[in-house]
């Protein structure tokens, strides 16, 4: 449609046109864990040049108007018993379940927000070539529930920046869930190396009924 014709249209009609011509949103996909692992691209990993500062976090979160950082928003969203949120997003009370080690936590200060695929591992797996804006989006990803998870500080620091070939949650009955949530970060098209791929394949074989749901990142 020409620019001259567009200028002559009422504002309401322009709004309808803009909605009908907007590109469709990415749809969520659900596949068996084994299929999701098979879809992970293989590549050699390199940590050359990595610094944690390359991933800006924690930012103003999904709702900058609420005064909370991404960390605080995740804590509020994942609470089993809702905390009180005071001025400047001060969190008091509340209860959380750290699924890595099956522990109940009653203080937000006892929790870390774990990047399911750690920042250093993401760098190794393709994020080194991203723009700073995309790395920031990854580091604050609330577009998928499993991307960021509230867990005990001890379990998060035990995990550090390791992949499933090097570390898995100590609670063995959550390994299928952990494998699915790790693999769901294929929404970012991150690569795997041979040892990580083998570990995930072993988990997929041990978890035949496990599915992976993910939405491709913008």
Q: Where exactly are the structural domains of the chain?
A: 25-214
190: confidence class by pLDDT, cuts 50, 70, 90 = very high
- Residue 130, pLDDT score: 98
Once rounded to an integer, what is the mean pLDDT over residues 165-175? 96
Mean pLDDT score of the chain: 90
The residues, ordered by sequence, that sit 6+ positions from 131 with a Cβ below 8 Å of its Cβ are none
pLDDT of residue 20: 38
Percent of the chain with pLDDT over 90: 84
**Per-residue confidence (pLDDT) for residue 186, from 0 to 100:** 84
Read off the pTM. Answer: 0.86
Closest to 193 measured CA to CA, from 38, 19, 76, 41: 41
Collapsed DSSP state (helix, strand, coil) of residue 179: helix
pLDDT exceeds cutoff 50 at 12: no
* pLDDT value of residue 27: 85
């Amino acid at each position: 449609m020409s620019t001259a014709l567009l200028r002559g249209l009422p504002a309401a009609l322009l709004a309808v046109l803009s909605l009908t011509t907007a590109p469709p949103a990415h749809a969520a996909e659900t596949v068996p864990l084994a299929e999701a692992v098979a879809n992970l691209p293989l590549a050699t990993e390199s940590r050359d040049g990595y610094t944690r500062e390359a991933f800006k976090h924690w930012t103003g979160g999904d709702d900058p108007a609420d005064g909370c950082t991404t960390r605080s928003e995740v804590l509020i969203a994942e609470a089993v018993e809702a905390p009180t949120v005071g001025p400047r997003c001060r969190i008091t009370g509340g209860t959380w379940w750290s699924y890595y080690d099956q522990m109940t936590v009653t203080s937000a200060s006892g929790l870390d927000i774990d990047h399911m695929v750690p920042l250093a591992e993401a760098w190794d797996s393709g994020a080194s070539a991203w723009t700073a804006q995309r790395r920031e989006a990854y580091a604050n990803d609330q577009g998928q529930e499993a991307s960021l998870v509230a867990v005990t500080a001890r379990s998060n620091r035990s995990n550090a920046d390791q992949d499933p070939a090097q570390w898995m949650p100590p609670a063995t009955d959550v390994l299928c869930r952990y494998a699915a949530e790790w693999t769901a970060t294929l929404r970012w098209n991150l690569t795997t190396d041979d040892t990580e791929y083998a570990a995930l394949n072993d988990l997929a074989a041990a978890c035949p009924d496990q599915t992976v749901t993910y939405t491709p990142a913008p």
